[in-house]
Amino acid sequence: MALSDDAVGAIKAMILDGRLRPGDRLPVEKDLATTLGLSRGTLREAVRALTLIGVLDTRQGDGTYVTSLEPHMLLASLSFTMDLHQGSAELYLLETRRALESHATAQAAVRLHESALTDLQDILDRAELLLDADPLDHDALLEHDRAFHRTIVQAAGNPVLSSFIESLSGQTMRARLWRELADDGAARRTLGEHRAILAALAARDPELARVRAAVHVAGVEDFVREQLRAGRAPLAGQADHQPV
């Protein structure tokens, strides 16, 4: 094991046992290296590694701090990694999203507030207006799509699960755009599937919500699988339409 791995483990232990808490400033490099019994060079490597994954935040001229350690920060590097996957690997991302999001949707069916149901209905009503516009604004439709799914997942009440799914959403949204541009009827079918999911949520039926969410994501999986089998790559310019 590299010495930098030991240093990472030592800083992790300090966070776990409460010697370092979210928002705390790390001791100056010389003192911390002495405390951990490591060279300053090894400590710097560990700090760089922990900064890359969102555990530490190095501020020029101010020092290094423990971040808030919120799940969305710790999973930011995962989102970057997923964006690098292309081709058949995208199917694995969709499969993972299907498993996670169907579970989250089932949880949301018994946990979401009435106000969330109203918000979801408003999102779908606005999406329907967009579908009637000419030309079709794919960016706006995708943003409504993302808002719909984000509202549901957040209602499940599990911030770690929510962060995982959000990390997956960028890559799977590109697959969704790919299908929309290749299939004129895909956007309206998506709206119908969203309305079916909302109906299951409104009925407070977790199993029905789970199935409808799984079927919804599986539709994109099927499209990507067929395109790859036919030797077609994602449409050019696809990434330019990805919602921020």
CA angle 212, 78, 140 (to 5 degrees): 55
Distances (CA, A) of 81 to 52, 69, 75, 76, 241: 12, 19, 10, 9, 19
Is residue 52 domain-shared with residue 80, that is, in the same domain? no
State the CATH number of the domain containing residue 32. Answer: 1.10.10.10
Q: Is residue 240 very low, low, confident or very high in pLDDT (cuts 50, 70, 90)?
A: very low
Choosing from 18, 39, 69, the residue where a domain stops is 69
How far apart, in whole angstroms, are the C-alpha atoms of residue 101 and residue 164?
A: 10
Same domain, 37 and 115: no
Q: How far apart are the first and last CA of the chain?
A: 39
203, 97: one domain: yes
* Same domain? 176 vs 204: yes
Give the domain-ending residue among 69, 88, 107.
69
User: In sequence order, what are the beta bridge partners of 64?
Assistant: 58
Q: State residue 1's pLDDT score.
A: 44
Beta-carbon-side half-sphere exposure of residue 112 (alpha carbons within 13 Å):
30
Claim to verify: residue 197 and residue 221 sit in the same structural domain:
yes
What pLDDT was estimated at residue 75?
Answer: 59
133 and 231 both lie in a single domain: yes
Q: What is the DSSP string of 90-132?
A: HHHHHHHHHHHHHHHHHHHHHH--HHHHHHHHHHHHHHHHHHT
Token pair for 179? 């299908």
pLDDT digit string, tens, across residues 166-193:
877 766 666 777 787 777 788 899 999 9
Please check whether residues 45 and 140 belong to one and the same domain: no
Same domain, 12 and 58: yes
Ranges 49-58, 173-182, 214-223: which has the least confidence: 173-182
Higher-scoring residue by pLDDT: 99, 227 = 99
Residues 196, 130 share a domain: yes
- Select from 69, 91, 113 the last residue of a domain: 69
The percentage of residues in the chain with a pLDDT greater than 90, rounded to a whole number, is: 48
Q: How many domains is the chain partitioned into structurally?
A: 2
Same domain? For 78 and 64 the reply is: no
38 & 86 share domain: no
Q: What is the pTM of this model?
A: 0.67
Q: Name the residue range of residue 38's domain.
A: 3-69
156 and 63 housed in the same domain: no
Is the CB of residue 55 less than 8 Å from the CB of residue 67? yes
